[in-house]
Amino acid sequence: MMAHSSEIKASEQDTQPILPGATLGILGSGQLGRMFAQAASQLGYYVHVFSPEADSPTGQVAHRETIADYDDTRAVAKFSKSVEVVTLEFENISAAATETIARDAPVRPSGQVLHVAQDRLREKRFLQAAGIPVTPFAEITSSEALTSAVEEIGVPAVLKTAAWGYDGKGQAKIATATDAPQAWQSLDCQPAIYEGWVEYEQELSVLVARSTVGEVAVYGPIANQHANHILDLSVYPAPDLSAIAKEAGDIGRAMVEQLDVVGIICIEFFLTADGRLLVNEIAPRPHNSGHLTIEACRTSQFEQQVRAICGLPLGETTALRPAAMVNLLGDLWQTGEPRWQAALADPLVHLHLYGKREARPGRKMGHLTVLADTAEEAVQRAYRARERLTSER
Ligand code: AMP
């Protein structure tokens, strides 16, 4: 039977490459969008950013900007008519917005991928159904459910709001059973997920890109360290993770296939002392732990995002040299402007600043990346450069 002409058009549109010179749309205007726009510009694309914020990290470097709410259907529809494809730099975009866009331009990754990733419970259930190991968890929508979760899963544990959480926001640790009711109250008794605490040896991530024609490229594992629930340090290649590199990569590949991802996703893992890999969460976009790919890898995560959503061949992911990245949070501004020249006194230091005017504690303002002969040296030089930002005052 002949396919309907609109079906032919849709499938052709799905695999026809979008070539340099076209305009790419991005939802969200933070640092991930900024670095996406920089990579897209290098490849000769134009970028149109849509977000509610003025003077944003992405808006400062994009070619075109729409400042409107994501639920402003008319603005969203107008935006989607001005671009060939739409990608995103954060996952909390409503289904209504992605459906409006999808009438005019493909959304990559799709609304279905976002639907899974924007709710911690849906995400954990998806992973469980796919046979991917996760920490024991339970849905909490009542005090009774909380009591039975404490009994069945035990303590220590962490309670996280199911929706809208990031960087440890909307989370409360539970050390003893008696802490549990108070912890849920601190989250305003919102629908939550109760997770068994993982005594991990190491946190790590892999990034996986998948293009419109199903080509897949993997980065990682990248070793990550958090401070106050916010990423502090990433190292790649991580020498002591070689034993689990294949397993982590295979899980990443399985995830992009099963979710039918077009774009790039990050999968965050815990590695336990007895060598088990547990998936913590999936981000359907580039990730902070992948920032070091800009200098360290033949193709950065942002260039890969551009190539994947445009249906271009993917680039090589190989690391050129051991690299370390440290985040620069707003806390560094507490006693005045950091001393940039002191950090850059080490010629191996690369400075990235995101153009954010207001430096609040915990806010990601920029990062430093160092490539060196060994991962250890890269880490030490990155730490030292960050310390010099605020020393000698
Ligand atoms: P998340 O927002 O889920 O990425 O959590 C932020 C950070 O909190 C993680 O990177 C871990 O350092 C820590 N964390 C989250 N969930 C757990 C858990 N179940 N067990 C141990 N640490 C956790």
List the domain boundaries for the chain: 3-119+200-310, 136-196, 323-388
Give the nearest ligand 1 atom to 166 CA.
2
CA of 167 to the centre of ligand 1 (A): 9
Q: Distance (Å, rounded) from C-alpha 252 to C-alpha 227?
A: 25
Q: Distance (Å, rounded) from C-alpha 317 to C-alpha 210?
A: 13
CB of 63 closer than 6 angstroms to any ligand 1 atom: no
Q: Distance (Å, rounded) from C-alpha 321 to C-alpha 352?
A: 19
Q: Kindly report the protein residue whose alpha carbon is nearest to atom 19 of ligand 1.
A: 197
CB of 226 closer than 6 angstroms to any ligand 1 atom: yes
CB of 211 closer than 6 angstroms to any ligand 1 atom: no
Distance of CA 383 to the CA centre of its chain: 23
HEC-encoded secondary structure of 231-299? EEEEEECCHHHHHHHHHHHHHHHHHHHHCCCCEEEEEEEEEECCCCEEEEEEECCCCHHHCCHHHHECC
Phi, psi of 289 (to 5 degrees): -70, -15
CB of 26 closer than 6 angstroms to any ligand 1 atom: no
For 19, which DSSP code? P
Q: CA angle, 104 as apex, 102 and 106 as ends, to 5°?
A: 45
Q: Half-sphere exposure of residue 181, counting CA atoms within 13 Å on the CB side? A: 4
Asked whether this chain's domains 3-119+200-310 and 136-196 adopt the same fold, the reply is: no
Q: Half-sphere exposure of residue 101, counting CA atoms within 13 Å on the CB side? A: 31
Q: Distance (Å, rounded) from C-alpha 92 to C-alpha 185?
A: 24
Q: Distance (Å, rounded) from C-alpha 200 to C-alpha 277?
A: 9
Task: Describe the crossing of helices 31-42 and 301-310 by its angle, rounded to 10 degrees.
Answer: 70
Specify the CATH number for 3-119+200-310; select among 3.90.1330.10, 3.40.50.20, 3.40.50.1970, 3.30.2130.10. Answer: 3.40.50.20
Distance of CA 306 to the CA centre of its chain: 15
CA of 90 to the centre of ligand 1 (A): 18
Q: Distance (Å, rounded) from C-alpha 109 to C-alpha 89?
A: 10
Phi, psi of 95 (to 5 degrees): -60, -35
Maximal CA-CA distance, the chain: 76
Give the nearest ligand 1 atom to 169 CA.
2
CB of 256 closer than 6 angstroms to any ligand 1 atom: no
CB of 158 closer than 6 angstroms to any ligand 1 atom: yes
CA of 207 to the centre of ligand 1 (A): 18
The per-residue pLDDT string of the chain (393 residues; one tens digit each, 9 = 90 and over) reads 333 443 434 455 577 999 999 999 999 999 999 999 999 999 999 999 999 999 999 999 999 999 999 999 999 999 999 999 999 999 889 999 999 999 999 999 999 999 999 999 999 999 999 999 999 999 999 999 999 999 999 999 999 999 876 666 789 999 999 999 999 999 999 999 999 999 999 999 999 999 999 999 999 999 999 999 899 999 999 988 999 999 999 999 999 999 999 999 999 999 999 999 999 999 999 999 999 999 999 999 999 999 999 999 999 999 999 999 999 999 999 999 999 999 999 999 999 999 999 999 999 999 999 999 999 999 999 999 999 999 965
Fold of 136-196: Dna Ligase; domain 1 (3.30.1490)
Q: Which residue has the tokens 């336990």?
A: 272
H or E segment and range at residue 226: strand 216-227
- Exposure class string for 198-221: b at 16+ Cβ within 10 A, else e: bebebbbbbbbbbbbeeebbbbbb
Q: Which residue has the tokens 């849905």?
A: 139
Q: Distance (Å, rounded) from C-alpha 131 to C-alpha 124?
A: 11
CA of 199 to the centre of ligand 1 (A): 10
